[in-house]
Chain A
């Protein structure tokens, strides 16, 4: 590395070291041996490009292309290492993205202030709540949005913004919808209209290209989002101050089970709110930060509207009416730019205190403020208080998945009839069934979302038909067979009280794998069913998305080579 390059990297040494320490402290046992399986975080111990992973045979592909990226990395370095590397880089990005933005907005900002920014970007209720439900693609959105806003503020934003959007495309729908809007706003707010057209066109073009892999099949299938989802996923208060102020201080995810305990206590909640106000004022007073504050503030207002009494109905109507509106039903994720703004604002306050002439006590205050996010949410450390823990997947479940993957092609029905499990070997933590990610066959599972207050309908008509038949008293295996299922996988350790765990296996069925964790049966070739989702649209989507990535990658390479000359 040349001296000039070293000099460019030096300001990042302190925040990088701080961020690395904070990331290790935050993830803790999640980085241990085995795999972290937490609610929406499903990760196969044996990387396979299953139909679920690639989105083929899915009505509305949900895990593309993110799961395929994870599988690709898993094939290179192993599934466990791939998951840990992914989580670590994402959490680091949550801290370092705001650092790059802070350095752009406040050149020469001190290492103490950038370290404070890094801590605030990682150690906040947004990260804790999304980590609790294993939504790594949402955290990827938060990790990218800081870099993307920094790119939007640069002198030549077109390529850096396009590269950030292309990277967001790896996370899929959620990641993209978190990154694209605030970046477009920042581009519009920071330069004359004519000058913003080119980078905006590049961002939109890249966004459309990388979205094709999930957008094309979803739009062609035109599966409507259950409007009940907007109501169920409305932001919820996680502090004593109501939903709006909970959102202002960076929390407010709909799922109360994810809310850190300290958020419900008066003093930590008051301190978090005071810090958010302080950070906002600091961003407003620092003129270069106002455009970012405005863009992030607009995203905050949008999220608050989705939760506001009266206005939330309009939001539900939009979610139900728009094609792809289901993407907006969990609106709190759109807070990502606001989280970045809060981190940068806190850094500006720390910097102002630190730079005070002869301000010994002020410097002490600056240090205290830099550590404030840790003091306010002490319980989220060490994998959310030890609850996020990696575990080994049983050998017999892996063997069963391998047998099913190697069997002649056929639809696999998964029982119990619920997509969530409490595997005993996973500490009985709520987690997605691993079957669709482990079995290299098309899988039919219940895609409805079971909530305490009711069930949100899924998109797969075959799954809905199975649910209806089971509700009418039809045996689960017979209900699956009626939808063209050839193989039945029963995850035996998912609980005997679960729907479908006590299914009757037909006399002619052949056991093809049996273990403590899972059993698999071959019911014999099934009659062709006309309702199989077509795989053409997702194939077209993959071609368009891959082409978009290649174009942006080629563009980056050309720029790098030109600079090197």
Chain B
């Protein structure tokens, strides 16, 4: 394996890791502020109610 291909792979790996970390950061933030998409009926004694 020559050094140029190694550095290219390292660069690719860094890019991938950066993208992943950024993605997960965004996911965490969005997940925290996204309202609940499912209805939550209250006072129902039904199997599929919360």
Contacts and interface: CB of A to CB of B under 8 A. Distances in A.
B15 to A, nearest CB: 8
Interface size bracket, A side: 35 or more
Most buried by A among B20, B34, B41: B20
Nearest to A368: B20
Nearest to B38: A256
Interface in B17-50: 17, 20-21, 23-24, 26-28, 30-32, 34-41, 43-50
A187 B7 CA distance: 44
A272 to B, nearest CB: 9
A372 B45 contact: no
Contacts of A554: none
Interface residues of B, number: 34
A264 B33 CA distance: 12
B10 to A, nearest CB: 6
Contacts, number: 120
A374 to B, nearest CB: 9
A375 B21 CA distance: 10
Nearest to A379: B31
B16 to A, nearest CB: 5
Contact of A450 (B17, B35, B46): B46
Interface string A421-457: 1100000001000000000000000000111100000
A376 B17 CA distance: 16
B31 A362 contact: no
Contacts of A13: none
Given A259-B38, A368-B17, A378 B31 contact: yes
A160 to B, nearest CB: 37
Interface in A445-474: 449-452
Interface stretch (A203-211, A352-360, A536-544, A555-563): A352-360
Given A254-B48, A364-B21, A371-B24, 5 more contacts: A256-B38, A256-B48, A267-B23, A378-B32, A452-B44
9 closest Cβ pairs, A-B complex:
A264-B37, A365-B17, A361-B14, A362-B13, A375-B24, A361-B13, A262-B31, A265-B34, A364-B17
21 contacts: A39-B47, A256-B38, A256-B48, A257-B48, A257-B49, A259-B38, A261-B35, A262-B31, A271-B24, A357-B6, A359-B13, A362-B9, A362-B17, A364-B14, A369-B20, A371-B24, A375-B27, A376-B24, A430-B45, A430-B49, A451-B48
